[in-house]
Amino acid sequence: MRLTDLQRAIIRETVAETFGANANVWLFGSRVDDTQRGGDIDLLIETELTDADAIARAEIAFLARVQMKMGEQKIDVLLDYPSRKAYPPIYAIARQTGVPL
């Protein structure tokens, strides 16, 4: 995994702050593979939030806070929540290849 211990801690802490203490986060994509170089940080966040406005606010707050704490990073976020009805194929890939943080 190509994230430092500090980066993992920041992501976990910020997910809990913005999506709730019971939220889970996985890293997937090229950053999981130690042999690759570069790449954005791809995250799958699972939250218990159900209100669409609350989910949108949490995502914006997460991205802003994590950028302030870690510096400018390219971060892509997939969100899973109880009322989600459609799952594009990338969700299956994220779950199959992702690593819990």
Q: Which residues contact 7 (CB under 8 A, 6 or more apart)?
A: 70
Cβ–Cβ under 8 Å, residues 81 and 68: no
Q: Which residue has the tokens 């992702």?
A: 98
pLDDT value of position 33: 78
Q: What is the mean pLDDT of each run of 10 residues along the chain (101 residues)?
A: 90 97 95 80 96 96 96 93 91 93 94
Fold of 5-100: Beta Polymerase; domain 2 (3.30.460)
